[in-house]
Homo-oligomer: A and B are copies of this chain.
């Protein structure tokens, strides 16, 4: 079983920061270092940081405030030794040369622990910060596919042994072992080579989280790890099978892609204690903040809809897909109201909430893992530190005792710990 830590501001619950004793980890490196050390103590595969490219001060802070992922994870590289470091960078608002060298650099800095979460960037609110128009969904995925191809090509420009550094002859770089890329495609022209040597992992790990059909197709073709958004076991297993089934036709084996559904665990020593914690969190939720979140998730102003009637037909813009459709499908299936979705969204912003005693949480994770719904989990603590410490101190030891999760890291690179081979230079 593989475990990622989703590191979002003050935790993944919309009001996690209000929990008694919660730390404010949006911009506080001391708190972030403590979280990273806890994750490494819990033998997590990686820390993973989401991103957003705009600020709406009236919206929830998790959409508005954060350290920039690459700088933040580079700093955490210095205070950790084994845990992987996954940073989100959107392909719609960056360029492949910059992204390729930044992740190669993080990979060198961390001794082979870098991962890139390649997202297209769902929100059109980013566009005006870059003087651009937000491309539509299909165009964003076409850009992302070419972007990934260029970045992977740049990572392979240098042979592992291109840096000779021969003091006697004065040859530092062997030019014969470095090549240009000379990419010319519909969206990018990139000559290369990149100005950094091939990194410890050969290629940093690629993460993806897209939930739409183009997102699944891109993940199957290019990702090493997939974060999925699911609400229940059947949905998780269906998504898992569907993704794994795509791989052989693409020349990949099922074990080449690690699928980690997101889960917000609320853990107690007993079920009752866990539910009391969840009740404290939910007590902080009001219609306003949940409605803001839902408007953001749907890309539609939700303030005019009746909270307690049946789910209306909501005209989702084409730029929005996975979160919104997962939530709406679940709501229609289960006869929920908009207020129910509000509450669900507030709890974990659309992700699966797993509340109960450590035994119950471990049982459920084991059931998903052993029955073809997950290769592990992207753990989204509702708040820090207690909300994560509970998982590491109470649940992880059970998973270890059952032989489901490592006691010690298998290696020092993220690929080694994920069981992925180091890629040959293409």
Contact = CB atoms under 8 A, between A and B. Distances in A.
A197 B27 contact: yes
Interface in A189-245: 189-197
B75 A196 contact: no
A284 interface: yes
A71 B68 contact: no
A98 interface: yes
A65 interface: yes
Given A29-B109, A97-B53, A172-B61, A165 B71 contact: no
A40 to B, nearest CB: 14
A24 B272 CA distance: 58
A98 B95 CA distance: 11
Contacts of A421: none
Nearest to A191: B128
A129 B190 contact: yes
A129 B175 contact: no
Nearest to A185: B131
Interface stretch (A99-107, A257-265, A293-301): A99-107
A373 interface: no
Copies in the complex: 2
B165 A128 contact: no
A195 B105 contact: no
Contact of A175 (B57, B175, B196): B57
A66 B194 CA distance: 10
A53 B284 contact: no
Given A74-B75, A108-B29, A196 B130 contact: no
22 contacts: A17-B165, A24-B165, A27-B196, A33-B78, A55-B193, A57-B173, A57-B174, A57-B175, A65-B196, A66-B195, A67-B108, A68-B102, A70-B71, A70-B102, A74-B74, A78-B79, A95-B130, A97-B130, A129-B192, A130-B190, A131-B190, A170-B286
Given A55-B193, A65-B163, 12 more contacts: A54-B195, A57-B193, A66-B195, A67-B196, A71-B106, A78-B79, A95-B130, A129-B192, A129-B194, A130-B190, A131-B190, A170-B284
The 10 nearest A-B residue pairs measured at CB: A78-B78, A131-B189, A128-B191, A74-B74, A68-B105, A55-B195, A57-B175, A57-B178, A71-B74, A61-B172
